[in-house]
Amino acid sequence: MNRSSRAVIALLVLWLLLLPNVASQANRNNPFIWQVVVQYELGKSNQSATYLTDTSVKQYSQDFQTVFLYDDLYGHNERLLLDFGDGCPGTSMDNVQALNGNTSTSPSMMAQPSIALIQRGGRCTLWSDKVNQIQALSNQYHLNVGAIIVFDNATWPSVELITESTDNSSYPTWDASLPTTRNINNMSDNDIANHSNGIFLAIFFVPNVYGNTLKDLIHNYTLTSSGKPTQQYVQIAMFFSESTFSLDQDDNNAGGSGNADGNYWDVFTGDHAYIAYLLAAGGALVVALFFFRWCRTSRTGFGSRNDGSMDDEQAIGSGNIPLTESTHKMSLQKLDELCPVQEYRDAQETKNTICAICLEELNLHDMIRVLPCHHGFCVGCIDVWLTKKASICPICKYDCDHVQQTPPSQTDSSSTNAPTITTPPPTHPPNH
Ligand SMILES: *[C@@H]1O[C@H](CO)[C@@H](O)[C@H](O)[C@H]1NC(C)=O
Ligand SMILES: *[C@@H]1O[C@H](CO)[C@@H](O)[C@H](O)[C@H]1NC(C)=O
Ligand SMILES: *[C@@H]1O[C@H](CO)[C@@H](O)[C@H](O)[C@H]1NC(C)=O
Ligand SMILES: *[C@@H]1O[C@H](CO)[C@@H](O)[C@H](O)[C@H]1NC(C)=O
Ligand SMILES: *[C@@H]1O[C@H](CO)[C@@H](O)[C@H](O)[C@H]1NC(C)=O
Ligand SMILES: *[C@@H]1O[C@H](CO)[C@@H](O)[C@H](O)[C@H]1NC(C)=O
Ligand SMILES: *[C@@H]1O[C@H](CO)[C@@H](O)[C@H](O)[C@H]1NC(C)=O
């Protein structure tokens, strides 16, 4: 077994080890929660929102579980929490008002979508009864409830609730799986799966300790310290992947806020598999490169490297391009003059059909650069190569920095010796 094949195996193992770890962060079944206190001026609607930055935290628990996802996967980050008690049939709007300091129909609350907080158990048992009651109240009073958080009525000493600063990009991982008593799939009062037809909001389950944390926050509803009477709410957002969490604090007044200290959170949501896909693609590329190299070395033998007989194909990916004659780099400006970015329209315009740097097939409408030697590359690949590595074509070693130099003599002479003059100007400037 030679060195390259050992490297391939080591990389494969590393890659396989890496993937499950990344995927084991927050996911669809075990979301994490971003929680922040937000204040509104009494009588004004959402226009006056002020986020209390000190209160902005991420909450993690293995007991956070998705009961019913509905279509809640993307970006519902401005929902305010309303306490609905046990949410059982018989719960009235007066009850909801009393539980929320008479704020549940205030202008600010009415301008925003809400999340209903309810306790498991109480006057009724089945979760579907609670959900139906909340949907009915929400419809009747236009409360715009978009999700429900059910918190456990039982307390378990081993429940972990981890509070992290939003600056902390780490996330906790769980050693063991959730005990069956705390797993929503083992709760006989959870009949949501059998009643999902009439449900049009998302349902999440949290442990008792977190339910009480939220209730404490809700009950701090009014505050007049700033001089202006304000209404205080808790804003909750579910996240299904750490990679989608991004706080963009912006001090300008965009968005119509009159607050000098207004902060804005932009949440870029996406599928939690994004990182895993990226890693998988990266891993596959590395493995492919090593494999390709290993195949070539075993074919030509170790002793016969770089004996001058290397053809174009062998030069690709071998890293054996002699840089002695041209180690200088090109400026992006010169690159733009020499071979402007163009759309790949016709397989005839390049001698190669695969970008030799990333080994991706060139597809119609890809943005490419065609070097004077008529070799074509993805813009992103060749720009880095020519501006950071060396000004020579990765395939034929034609030195692009010598504009006056004629392209090297071609065996398959489809070239016209007229460097890129026929290429159309770029439709838009390349990205910097
Ligand atoms: C809510 O309204 C009721 C009746 O109008 C009143 O008795 C109660 O004190 C109010 N609660 C708060 C917190 O203002
Ligand atoms: C603010 O409330 C208005 C309705 O009063 C609504 O149309 C608008 O989308 C809300 N803006 C935000 C950012 O929630
Ligand atoms: C919690 O609620 C369930 C379902 O109603 C009930 O069976 C259980 O006894 C309750 N547990 C506690 C500790 O109240
Ligand atoms: C960040 O989060 C990780 C994982 O939850 C934790 O171990 C670490 O202590 C946190 N760091 C800070 C500075 O809070
Ligand atoms: C808990 O639920 C899982 C499936 O969700 C099932 O396989 C298991 O047997 C259940 N355990 C108990 C103790 O009910
Ligand atoms: C859901 O329905 C299935 C059969 O359709 C039944 O076996 C199961 O017990 C039901 N679960 C609940 C919680 O009602
Ligand atoms: C309620 O508000 C007071 C005054 O701002 C604050 O000291 C206290 O920590 C708040 N309580 C909670 C649970 O946030």
How many whole angstroms separate alpha carbon 352 and alpha carbon 377?
A: 9
Cβ atoms < 10 Å from Cβ of 291: 14
Which atom, in ligand 7's list, is nearest to the CA of 55? 14
SS3 label, residue 188: coil
Cβ of 128: how many Cβ atoms within 10 Å? Answer: 19
CA of 387 to the centre of ligand 7 (A): 56
d(CA 184, CA 152): 10
User: What is the Cα–Cα distance from 9 to 417, expressed in whole angstroms?
Assistant: 45
Q: State the angle between helix axes of 3-23 and 274-300 in degrees (0 to 180), rounded to the nearest 10.
A: 170
The pLDDT value recorded for residue 229 is 74
> What is the number of other CB atoms lying within 10 angstroms of the CB of residue 385?
19
**Residue 280 — φ and ψ, nearest 5°?**
-60, -45
Instruction: Give every residue of the chain whose pLDDT is below 50, as ranges.
Output: 19-24, 249-274, 276, 295, 297-326, 404-432
For the chain, the distance separating the N- and C-terminal CA atoms, rounded to the nearest angstrom, is: 44
CB 192 within 8 A of CB 199: yes
Q: Give the CA count within 13 Å in the CB-facing half-sphere of 418.
A: 5
d(CA 60, CA 427): 47
Give me ligand 5 centre to Cα 185, in Å. 7
Q: Provide the pairing of β-strand 50-60 with 32-41.
A: antiparallel
Ligand 7 site-directed mutation target among 83, 212, 217, 220, most atoms within 8 Å of CB: 220
DSSP state of 86: T
Mutate to test the pocket of ligand 4, among 24, 168, 242 (most ligand atoms within 8 A of CB): 168
pLDDT value for 391:
85
Sort strands 114-119 and 230-239 into parallel, antiparallel or unpaired.
unpaired
Length of the chain, in residues: 432
Alpha-carbon distance 188 to 171, whole Å? 31
What distance in Å separates the CA atoms of residue 306 and residue 315, rounded to the nearest whole number? Answer: 9
Q: Whose CA is nearest to atom 14 of ligand 7?
A: 217
249: DSSP letter: -
- CA 220, 225, 231: angle at the middle one, nearest 5? 45
* Calpha distance 386→335 (Å, rounded): 8
Question: Looking at ligand 5, which residue's alpha carbon is closest to its atom 1?
Answer: 186
Q: Where are the beta strands (DSSP E) in 240-330?
A: none
Bridge partners of 145, per DSSP, are 114
Residue 132 is inside which H or E element, if any?
helix 127-141
Q: Tokens for 116, please give them.
A: 């209903």
Nearest bound ligand to the CA of residue 161 = 4
* DSSP code at position 426: P
Read off the DSSP letter of residue 126. Answer: -
Q: What are the angstrom distances between the C-alpha of 317 and each of 9, 274, 362?
A: 19, 27, 17
Query: In ligand 3, which atom is closest to the CA atom of 122?
Result: 5
CA distance 291 to 296: 9
* Ligand 2 pocket residue status of 264, Cβ below 6 Å: no
45 Cβ inside 6 Å of ligand 2: yes
CA of 46 to the centre of ligand 2 (A): 6
Q: Which residue has the tokens 């992947």?
A: 241
Task: Enumerate long-range contacts of 294-302, CB under 8 Å, 24 or more apart.
Answer: 294/2, 294/4, 294/5, 294/8, 297/2, 297/4, 298/2, 302/2
Q: In the prediction, which pLDDT does 64 show?
A: 96
Ligand 1 site, residue 105, Cβ cutoff 6 A: no
Q: For residue 354, what is the DSSP state?
A: B
Would you say the CB of residue 235 lies under 6 angstroms from ligand 2? no
Q: What is the pLDDT of residue 2?
A: 61
Question: Are residues 241 and 74 in contact, defined by beta-carbon separation less than 8 angstroms?
Answer: no
